[in-house]
Structure 1
């Protein structure tokens, strides 16, 4: 009897001892995110069949609904449908514009909302009301990383290319430090010509600022597809060369979809969660890898960023299972009152595909790691740095490019350190005038 009471008590205080099935609402973009539904389906089957120890006793049932990417009015109706269907957690879609409308709805209805993309941080008053929201993407840490990286690379000027009007908020730490204001280039991606027009504008900015004397430095903050389209437009305009340096953050890696750029000695840097393989520290690593590969075989090669897509939805479900269950029932949209639930979301710390999942009271990511990759001189993808932060507030950027053979930084340092004396005859360099010595004889060669 005592052992049964002890077990019951442990189940009450533990966020991982929740055996009842709960409903997760999955909100996806119509016509473009069916592959996420495929991922959720195979994760649900594996979790509910207890294949993973990582999820402990969790069981969940997904409720899918799709919304048109240009129909923001439809969002409230879809969220209400998920709430009425019994969803206590809402995931997705990975769209900043949607998230800005979904968050207040979830607070109003009392539904936990888990997102996984960069999102602007507004006033402190809004942060304190975000107890229903958890973000797997380390928004504030990413902005600090950008500042540290640009400081390490000694960037005194650059152009920021983006599609979402909120994106320049990422640069707040950079703008507070630098004297020169970067050029902001907003792209209209609604037409096929929009990316080419933006690339032409970028070349014009560089021409006016004479940046070709050094290097054309560019940060691209766009979707994976738009990033590739913009690089293709830059290639057609002759901006894929050693005189250009692009930093991107929406791709998985530098091994795929970039084959046409590997022989142009362009410097391309990538900020990503991809370490080169699935984290060896995660529990059930081999089983997760097998699950991921089975999903890849199912969807084929249609996705530009398969690992990031799978990792974030996997970790969103994992986070849902480690919330402080049982979660309160959501308020109905037909009710005239708002939710009065003041209970904050607490997540049991667990290691997922994107690293250690731990959050503060505002739902911001605490522990995280981001990798910096770069094209080598021969086009090989090289892991040149790591950014890490933890719950103690410690932040560290470790850059290794200068010590890795094949990187542009290593090559530049090697050439600067080399001492070469070039001797050429007048016959080789006829445009160098002969030097007549005091005795009237001409010098036999020139330096």
Structure 2
């Protein structure tokens, strides 16, 4: 075909060519809308809608029913692609004869893949929230018209899947809301949007409902308590010398907790005239003890502390035996990390050695170690580092015995009776195979 004939052909068929280009642009719009509305942040849209952005309200309304949205956009896109391909094939046959079908197929495939799929979706995904706000007002009337057809298609699909034993309505999300939040926080941390302290803070809040009081309590072996049968002067001295403001009182045995004494109540009593440390009765000053089960989760315990306006509770097991104590500060430290003041003892139980290894006390909680060193040792079966080694080794290890698990080499440095009191931890690759 000569140049003049080609120009004459274009002049005769320009409405068809314009229609193909228009349909190509419409397909690009459908593709961009699908990508943007599926990738838009629901939390961001909710915040914008709360601030009065009407377009964000439209976006929220559209993504509330994703099946209807996706189905309608796909139906529109498929119709546009089929119509554009038919028009282009008709033109190509007239222009190139018997080779027209192959040429039209190749040309339209390239055009639709590049300009109606990859390019618009890449543009939309570069800024999904902004793109969703831009396309939502135009997409909504289209969804209103095509929505019933989409609903019919979805109903047919669900019916066919139900015949195969797949019930979409009963499918449950693979991740809970907490897991999705935790995953988002970890991802933002890896991308550099969140500093470690912020990640730990939000992670601590999410963990409250999964942890039990027994995971954070001060164990009975480390619990400071006052013997009510000691002479009053001895009791007063121990209370005033203690770094803690609240101390349990016991009588007869450590399991018989009869009260909790607050140092402020003691100081107030000592300030009274004619009151001496040798004659004061600390039992009368003590508050009634509050006992809580060791299986109480931290979220419930935190709410109970706030409701009762108390700061300390005695933890007992299912048999009523005292296991330790938990304070409001212990729970808050799970969220914000260690809370130290000028009277706290400077005992961390973790020491960095010159060779790169870490020396830890056996009683150091696994969660504290993970938080301090950004490790990921499991804490489901054991609370302390010593407990983890005993659980993994299925034994009470001897001194200098070493184990390798979870990418770390654990070496028992000191053992007192059946308690592991000190360990050295280094990266597993620094040593040979497990001993």
Structure with bigger gyration radius: 2
Task: Name which structure has the greater RCO, CA cutoff 8 Å, separation 6+.
Answer: 1
TM-score (norm 1): 0.21
Which has the larger strand fraction? 1
Which has the larger helix fraction? 2
